[in-house]
Structure 1
Amino acid sequence: MSITLILIIITVAISWYAWNNPSLLDKWMLNPYRVIQKKEYYRFITSGFIHADFGHLLFNMLSLWFVGEGIERLFGMLFGPDGRFYYLFLYIVGIIVSDIPTFIKHRKNAKYNSLGASGGVSAVLFAAILYAPLLQVCLYFAICMPGFIFGLLFLGYSFYESRRGRGYVNHDAHMYGAIFGMLFMAVVYPASVPGFVEQIGSWRLF
């Protein structure tokens, strides 16, 4: 069984359980104020394994399934048996790192909460985009485009919405998870950077 599938099963099970146990949902979601006041740093990790509703969970887990399996196999090819640890590090640390800006921004707001695996999923997706920028990314199985174009649109939208500060979506987690994913891939496999440039240089719209 792949690490990706194990992560999905665990996340679905915990999210489902938390929906039926509000006290657990409250205890595990990221609340920056409580992290500081009660030293509950575990929330940086646990918040990535619970979701707000079924739609939120489905979108994140489908995204992880479609991209994660490929990155997991790639890491196995590049790093051998250690590849699974590289992959887990990318995903788990992606969740943690993506929440740090949110933690800093809302550390004095006792009412702010954040949850979901979006930071980790974004890290995996953008690691894939750096390695294979021409990889086709499809939105809702209908609108498909090369990964690097999707990446530019995704980062631009996340930055814009983060500055607006409206709604309940943690756009900072999306953006910083994506940045972490690219940096991680560039560090562990430096050849991905010139490869990225070369592949984009060969791309033609028609």
Structure 2
Amino acid sequence: MLYYLYATPVASVIFALTIGLSLYVFSNPQWYAKLMLHPYTLHRDKSKWYMVFTSGLIHKDWMHLIFNMMTFYYFGFGLENMFVQFSGVLGHVLFAGLYVVSLILSDIPTLIRQKNNSSYYSLGASGAICAVLFSFIMFQPKAMLGLFMVIPIPAYLFAFLFLGYCIWASKKAYDNINHDAHLFGALAGIGLTILLYPWSISHLLSQFL
């Protein structure tokens, strides 16, 4: 635990805060209405801007939380470590920036699309986590993972299966989980990574050529 706090303090805080606040709202569901993203309200009352952030720290249920936190655990801690290797101590700040900015960018299409839909709410860290996932793949696309803890699969294939599922789910589900944010989070993660480390494009291509 102390190693993670020292080596990857930002990922550790995000991980602990997301789990802690999600568990709190599981036991106190009245907080969902206060912390979830509600574009209709936010469009009319800009003082509710905090919803963009708080909605990314809570989850619908155990399965939603476990799935997102497992993905973050596999990729978030490793990505912060890589940023530190590339940029020294500044890497911690850059990782925090990528996570927070991606969380905001991934919600913008939803805020625009649902601004007049008073019945639409969403929650989950999906957009920011997808940004972390695709940023990681820019550097280590062939890192091997265990799908369902068993089936070996390269990171780039996992990412596209993950994204494909989320796009499909966004068309099928009515569960308050913002599946659309996955796609825009992935794009934000790729874009911000290229902005921070332009050489990541040639590095990624070199892994496949």
TM-score over 0.5 (shorter chain) = yes
1:60 equivalent to 2:68? Answer yes
Provide the C-alpha distance between the structure 2 equivalents of 1:171 and 1:10, rounded to a whole number of angstroms: 21
Q: Which amino acid aligns with 2:35?
A: W
| Contact 1:5/1:65, CA 8 A, preserved across alignment | no
> Would you say how many aligned residue pairs link Structure 1 and Structure 2?
200
The alpha carbon displacement at 1:160 in A equals 4.3
Alignment partner, residue 20 of structure 1: 27
Where 1:145 maps in the other structure, the secondary structure is strand
- Return the alpha-carbon distance in structure 1 between the equivalents of residues 40 and 13 of structure 2: 31
Query: Equivalents in 2 of 1:117, 1:55: separation in Å?
Result: 13
Say what the alpha-carbon RMSD is for the aligned residues.
Answer: 1.7
Residue by residue over 1:148-169, the C-alpha shift from the partner in whole angstroms, topping out at 9 and shown as x without a partner, is 223333344434444x354324
The residue type paired with residue 67 of structure 1 is F
Unaligned stretches of 5+ residues in structure 2: none
Matches within 5 A, 1:1-206: 1=5, 2-39=9-46, 40-162=48-170, 164=171, 166-168=173-175, 169-201=177-209
Structure 1 ranges of 4+ moved more than 4 A:
none
Unaligned stretches of 5+ in structure 1? 202-206
- Counterpart position of 1:204: none
Report SS of the residue matched to 2:23.
helix
Closer/same/farther in 2, CA of residues 158 and 61 from structure 1, 3 Å limit: closer
Amino acid at match of 1:149: L
**For each residue in 1:182-204, what CA deviation from the matched residue of structure 2 results, as whole angstroms up to 9, or x when unmatched?**
11111111111011111012xxx
Paired residues of 2:35 and 2:54 also in contact (CA < 8 A)? yes
Q: Provide TM-score, normalisation by structure 2.
A: 0.88
SS of 2:115 mapped into structure 1: coil
1:82-104, Cα deviation, whole Å (9 max, x unpaired): 11111111111111111111111
- CA displacement, residues 100-127 of structure 1 (integer Å, 9 cap, x when unaligned): 1111111111111110111111111100
